[in-house]
Amino acid sequence: RRTKTKAERMGQGGSSENAQPANTNTIGIPVKLNVYTPRQQQPQQRTAGTNTVSQVPSAGMGAYHSGVVIGGREYTFGGGASNGSGVVDHVPGKAYGQANGNWQFYQTVDLGKTRLNQKQIQSALSELRTMFPAKSYDLLAKNCNHFSELFCLKLGVSFPNWVNRMAKMGAMMQGKGDFVAQEKAKIQAQEQRRREKEAKMKELKMRQGQLKPEADANAKGVILIQVNCPGGKKARRRFVETDTIGDVMEFVYAYDSMVARKGFELVQTMPRKVFANNRMTLAAAGLKGRANLFVKKKM
């Protein structure tokens, strides 16, 4: 059994700073990152598909090209005069531009597995193709590694920071924004909104579970009440004459996350009435048959 070298144990560059957290997913589609160096810069480090290390760069400060390998294809981004997307795919291990002698294979980084299915992967690629038109290529601010990092982000796998460190430092020195950081912020904001919406729906479901059962359509003294909430949401529910204004308010509270339990009152427009007594029965309030009420937030 071969003992791993210190560089292999610590990660790229032989230091913990460059080590990347492993994706420990056991279910999913494998994702790899092929990394290339300029042909004149450095001899090949690894043979594609092997872990044999021949040379480790110092602190990961080299210039690199990269492509994300998934589903038997390698995806990368390149610039050009075309009005179309700069995202291309090719046979893994052959760098975009290698035919012109620009790049040579350096190493493959195993990024683990994505939990996305094929349809979700294609959706992510479609979005990235729009985000990366060929004319938008910028060596420091929006290069192939920015594409790879963002693709990895969407796939849910970790991107090794050392691959694009030089470009990001250069962009920072020139006052250029970090494209990936900006996109990450957008994604995080979207995720936050999703979580907040999910939490609200969970809260509403809990509130609805605490409501008394809805009156049967054939019950004696049944009243169908429609409530019109401030955001335009409408909800209907059957009550009986012995139910109270408070019961209707609890129903509103359980179906509209925008209202606070004690922060609103029910209003009838024709004839105009404000129902402020929560303990008043619907019969005492003069409601029968069908009623159309509006939710008015308290000042």
CB contact at 8 A, 20 and 158: yes
User: And the tokens for 277?
Assistant: 């007594």
* pLDDT higher than 90, residue 259: no
Phi, psi (deg, nearest 5) at residue 68: -90, 125
Q: What is the mean pLDDT of the chain?
A: 83
83 pLDDT band, cuts 50/70/90, is confident
Cβ-based burial of 151 (10 A; exposed 0-12, middle 13-18, buried ≥19): buried
Catalytic residues, which ones? 65, 144
Could you give the CA distance from residue 181 to residue 183 in angstroms, rounded to a whole number?
Answer: 5
Residue 198 has pLDDT above 90, yes or no: yes
Q: In this predicted model, what pLDDT tens digit does every residue of 117-137 receive, in sequence order?
A: 999 999 999 999 999 999 999
How many whole angstroms separate alpha carbon 234 and alpha carbon 169? 53
Residues 255/228, Cβ–Cβ less than 8 Å: no
pLDDT value of position 26: 53
Q: How confident is the model at residue 98 (pLDDT cuts 50, 70, 90)?
A: low
Written as one letter, the residue type at 149 is E
Mean pLDDT of 56-80: 82
Residue 162, number of CB atoms within 10 A of its CB? 23
